Amino acid sequence: MRHSYLIPLLLLLSVSFLPSCLFEDNDDEEVLGNWIRRSDFEGVPRSNAVSFTINNISYVGLGYDGEDDLNDFWQYDPELDFWQKVDTFPGVPRRAAVAFSVGGKGYVGTGYNADLPVEELRDFWEFDPQAPSGQQWTQKADFMGTARYNSVGFAINDKGYIGTGYDNNWLKDFYAYDPTTDSWEQVVSLGGAKRENAFAFVINGVAYVGGGRNNGIYETDFWSFEPGQQLWTRLEDLDEDDEYELIRDGALGLGSGATGFVIGGTSGSTLGTVWEYDPLTDTWEEKNSMEGAARTNLTGFVVESRIFIVSGEISGTRLDDIWEFRPYEELDEDD
């Protein structure tokens, strides 16, 4: 009986030597995402540019350099890591326009030009990379909605979509463009709040729209859109989970494979954070932040599941760097 004190002592020692991994929680899981700097964009530094991708070549143009609205356009070949100038956009220079690609052609419309009597725009243009130089741009039917800027645009199947934005009022209406008939039709409006400077991406034929601001207020609702059913569905709000820090405007949205990404933007301060969205679970996972400067009003594109960001601004400084983001690799600061 005099040695009974040894039993609790041995139990205490055995617990203290248990593997530490048994007590780890999800907070210790490694955050993934690697950033690789590519060849700088060869145009002037800018924010509020547009981009689209055709046959694994991406096109970037328009925007604002801090003094002037721009109308130049450049193509980028990710295999060669090479920029080359293409035909200048023939419409008025502009920032905060929208762009998408359908059927091997690019489309650009709406936007803002500070030097015009009416600053908001609604003209709409087609870019054909197969046309001879000097004839690559063709003006098409004007956008059906009001002249506006800071809208979102995306393509699903054989149609393009433009909606939300600002025309001296915050907006939530949406319109579909059919390139085969060069015609527009109004579709059901985004649910929830009006907004400008939202983010949008497409995953497997479904569009996702969220964020942005309405009358100075950061919006937190997040929606999916199925064009075949003309159906908007409200998903989990961007502030529903305390672990998410997704409330922002001026962010870039990109769909790649089975998930979507939201990159950068501003929410009182300029952000470099990156979040991945899984539509199967309606949940978000944080990835490694941008290795380059945090930024807002950036643009980007996806080429065969390769994710790129380019341009943007921070504290009034415009940027011309381009980065490739690999979301499932460990961070390597030396590449």
Q: What is the pLDDT of residues 205-245, one digit of tens each?
A: 999 999 999 999 999 999 999 999 999 999 999 998 877 88
Q: Report which secondary-structure segment, H or E, holds 228.
A: none
Could you tell me which residues come within 8 angstroms of residue 137 by beta carbon, excluding any fewer than 6 positions away? 87, 89, 90, 125, 126, 127, 128
Least confident of 17-31, 56-70, 295-309: 17-31
Interatomic CA distance for residues 190 and 225, integer angstroms: 8
**What is the structure's pLDDT at 244?**
81
As a whole number of Å, the CA-based R_g of the chain is 23
What are the tens digits of pLDDT across the range 245-266?
Answer: 899 999 999 999 999 999 999 9
| CB-based contacts of 141-145 (< 8 A; 24+ apart in sequence) | 141/182, 141/183, 141/184, 143/109, 143/110, 143/175, 143/177, 143/184, 144/175, 144/184, 144/185, 144/186, 145/171, 145/173, 145/175, 145/186
What is the sign, positive or negative, of the torsion defined by CA atoms of 243, 247, 250, 251?
positive
Q: Residue 28 — pLDDT band, cuts 50, 70, 90?
A: low
Q: Are 235 and 226 in contact (CB under 8 A)?
A: no
**Taking residues 50-73, what's their average pLDDT?**
98
What mean pLDDT do residues 303-329 have? 97
Predicted confidence band of residue 332 (pLDDT cuts 50, 70, 90): confident
Confidence label for 97 from pLDDT (cuts 50, 70 and 90): very high
If one compares 22 and 301, the residue with the highest pLDDT of the two is: 301
Question: Looking at the DSSP assignment, which residues form a beta bridge with residue 54?
Answer: 57
- Residue 135 exposure: Cα atoms within 13 Å on the Cβ side: 3
Is the predicted pLDDT of residue 22 greater than 70, yes or no? Answer: no
pLDDT at 117: 95
pLDDT value of position 152:
98
What number is the average pLDDT over the span 99-119? 97
Neighbour-count burial of 45, counting CB atoms closer than 10 A to its CB (0-12 exposed, 13-18 middle, 19+ buried): middle
What pLDDT score does 2 carry?
41
> Considering the chain, what percentage of its residues have pLDDT values greater than 90?
87
In terms of CATH, what superfamily is 36-326?
Answer: Kelch-type beta propeller (2.120.10.80)
Query: Residue 189's CB: how many other CB atoms inside 10 A?
Result: 15
Q: What's the mean pLDDT in 35-49?
A: 98
Report the alpha-carbon angle 28-33-37, nearest 5: 145
Q: In what side-by-side order are the strands of the sheet with 82-86? A: 50-54, 57-61, 73-77, 82-86
Return all residues near 313 (Cβ < 8 A) that are at least 6 apart: 47, 295, 296, 297, 298, 319
Return d(Cα 279, Cα 224) in angstroms, integer: 9
164 and 194 Cβ atoms separated by less than 8 Å: yes
Domain ranges of the chain: 36-326
Asked whether the predicted pLDDT for residue 18 surpasses 70, the reply is no
Structural contact between residues 251 and 209, judged by C-beta atoms closer than 8 angstroms = no
Helix (H) / strand (E) containing 165: strand 159-166
pLDDT at 268 > cutoff 70 = yes
- Find tokens 């599941």 and name the residue: 305
pLDDT at site 8: 40
Residue 62's contacts (CB-CB under 8 Å, 6 or more residues apart) are 48, 49, 50, 69, 70, 71, 72, 73, 89, 93, 94, 95, 97, 108, 111
253: its two tokens = 């949205």
Portion of the chain with pLDDT greater than 70, in percent: 91
Q: Is the pLDDT of residue 12 over 60?
A: no
**Model confidence at 3: pLDDT above 50:** no
| Mean pLDDT of all residues belonging to the chain | 92
pLDDT at 13 over 80: no
User: Is 7's pLDDT higher than 80?
Assistant: no
The alpha helices in 148-267, defined as continuous H runs, are: none
Whether the per-residue pLDDT at 282 is higher than 90: the answer is yes
Model pLDDT for residues 145-203, shown as the tens digit of each residue? 999 999 999 999 999 999 999 999 999 999 999 999 999 999 999 999 999 999 999 99
